Structure 1
Amino acid sequence: MTLSVFLAVLAAAAMHAIWNALVKVHLDRFLSITLMTLGMGAVALLALPFVDVPKAGVWPYIIASVIFHMGYRTFLIGAYKAGDFAQTYPLARGAAPLLAALGGIVVVAEVPAPLAIFGIVLLSAGTLVLSFRGGAHLERLNLRAVGFALGTSIFIAGYTLSDGSGARLAATASSYAAWLFVCDAAWALVLCLIFRGPKALPVLARDWKAGVYTGVLSGVAYWIVMWAMTEAPIASVAALRETSILFALMISVFALGEKMTAWRGAAVLSIVAGVVALRLG
């Protein structure tokens, strides 16, 4: 992985952590995530005249990604409802790189270098430590929340592999990203109308500024990731992206005044060691 790709993905991870913190407007989680997705699609819509229309072979990847993203959001909301955010989010994000690495070997025949594999394991281990010991205690872990979190990680790995493959096949990563964001937003709007009805639209409209802001952050962050997956192994990019949990921890400690425990410190060391291994690998 080149230095430019490495730094770009780290920047994307920081943006990912920021939009996850900002998406908590006064709406419920379903409407908050829907609002962010619509904001991302609205901004991407402006880019469509300037990018290529995907060729026929790219559309199956876009469709698969929309389905995977739908499953991701559904299971993530279920995880938030069932358990503690401090556990479910790191668990979902921590397991995903390992699944993406295994999927990359099977689906795209892409085997990371040994040092990169070591980095993926270290980075995932660090996020899992944050899940089990960074917030609530392991003995209080909610099995229902774990099920939703692991389901979320499967969908994350699914759209990661789909988008990495699709972006490589498309004319440019930008064209793939723009059309994906627009399609994903359109389907998110359909689901919102199905589950919440037309009465949800005025509620979303009142917070449109938050939707645009978080949508831009999320869109730019994930566009960087898709571009990076055209330049570096998918599994390595997917793992490095999960340093977002490290940035989220920094926000919680320095901005929110939460305590830096010994377990959190150990997790940070594991994540940083994983990042170094990925860079060297």
Structure 2
Amino acid sequence: MPLHLFLLILLAAVLHATWNLVSKRAAAAGASFVFAYRLFSTVLFAPWVAYVLWFDDMTWNLAVVGFILLSSVLHLCYGLCLQRGYQAGDLSVVYPIARGTGPLLATGGAFMLLGEQATASGLIGIACVVGGVLLIATQARWQLFLKPQAWVGVRWGATIGVFIACYTLSDAYSVKVLGIAPVVLDWMAGVGITCMMAPAAWVQRDVVRRKMRGQWKLAFIVGLLSPTAYILVLYALRHGAPVSLAAPLRETSLMVATLAGYFILKEKVGPIRWLGCLVILAGVVALSGH
């Protein structure tokens, strides 16, 4: 993978970690916050999309429309399962399973469906990144998974991981094979999600206004950074980055979030999480040599 694409995905990981840190401050707003930042994204990126649609020689056919709709559905299902999974299971179980299985399944799918070739350095890098994610997210508290109720979280985490892999592979095919412009794919998928959420938001508009009081600035920031982070990944994929490397590289955002929590938010970071960061870093080095 060319260095500039490698760095592009790492930049996307930094932006991903940044918008997640911002959104944590509005966690109490729940789905209202998701609808608000999606609405901002729709407005903010509309001029760029209009420019691309006017000047980009994009081919429109049933496959293109179908994969744009599929992207909307998969991203919405991912979001709903994520929310439901966190309600039904422990965060310390659901999150690591989701973030671990997602890139692993996406990588396997890339080998089988997209014809990508596996290499020793690539597989070592993938294993290190996924292993580091598990260390940071679980802090090596493996006994959590021995509890009977933990398997509820495992099932939800695995389901979320399946949706991560599905939208990753679907969107990669859209930009690599069908030639859909990344910003167009992300924007139209986002519009689809916004439209699906709009009826409930309208019915509960008083609740939305109340929950979003004082949170609109945060929604604006997330509405700008969240699509930008994903569009950067899609552009890297479109210009030749393999899914089998891009998917695990995106997960370095957890390492970035850990470092930001320590240096900016002054959070305590134990030795296991530091070890996880080092393991992820080793994975990044291995992937960079691919």
Structure 1 residue 224 displacement after superposition: 0.2
1:238 lines up with 2:243 in the alignment:
no
Change (3 A) 1:26 1:225: closer
State how far apart, in whole Å, the 2-side matches of 1:113 and 1:42 are.
42
Tell me whether 1:58 sits opposite 2:64 in the alignment.
Answer: yes
Identify the match of residue 213 of structure 1 among 197, 202, 221.
Answer: 221
Higher CA-based Rg: 2
Contact 1:120–1:278 under 8 Å retained in 2: yes
- How far the C-alpha of 1:84 sits from its partner, in A, is 4.4
| Shift of residue 268, structure 1, vs aligned partner | 1.4
Shift of 1:184: 2.9
Q: Which of 136, 140, 146 lines up with 2:144 in the alignment?
A: 140
> Number of residue pairs matched?
277
Q: 2:76 aligns to what?
A: 70
Answer yes or no: is the 8 Å Cα contact 2:129–2:280 preserved in 1.
Answer: yes
What percentage of aligned pairs have identical amino acids?
30
Of residues 135, 146, 159 in structure 1, which corresponds to 2:167?
A: 159
- Out of 215, 231, 237, the position equivalent to 1:229 is 237
Corresponding residue for 2:4? 4
8 Å CA contact retained: 1:246, 1:271:
yes
Output the TM-score relative to the length of structure 2: 0.86
Question: 2:37, 2:220 within 8 Å by CA — same for their partners in 1?
Answer: yes
What RMSD in Å do the two structures reach over aligned CA positions?
Answer: 2.3
What letter corresponds to residue 150 of structure 1 in structure 2? A
The gaps in structure 1 that reach 5 residues or longer are: none
Paired letter, 2:52: V
Structure 2 CA distance for aligned equivalents of residues 200 and 249 of structure 1: 33
Q: Does structure 1 conserve the Cα–Cα contact (< 8 Å) formed by 2:93 and 2:144?
A: no
Identify unmatched segments of 5+ residues in structure 2: none
* Pairs within 5 Å for 1:74-93: 74-93=80-99
Separation (CA, whole Å) in 1 of partners of 2:276 and 2:83: 25
CA displacement at 1:11 relative to structure 2: 0.9
Q: How far is the alpha carbon of 1:201 from its aligned partner?
A: 4.5
- Counterpart of 1:7, as a letter, is L
Distance 1:276 1:181, change over 3 A: same
Give the superposition deviation at 1:203.
Answer: 4.0
Given the alignment of the two structures, is residue 33 of structure 1 paired with residue 42 of structure 2, yes or no?
no
C-alpha distance in structure 2 between counterparts of 1:245 and 1:238, whole Å = 13
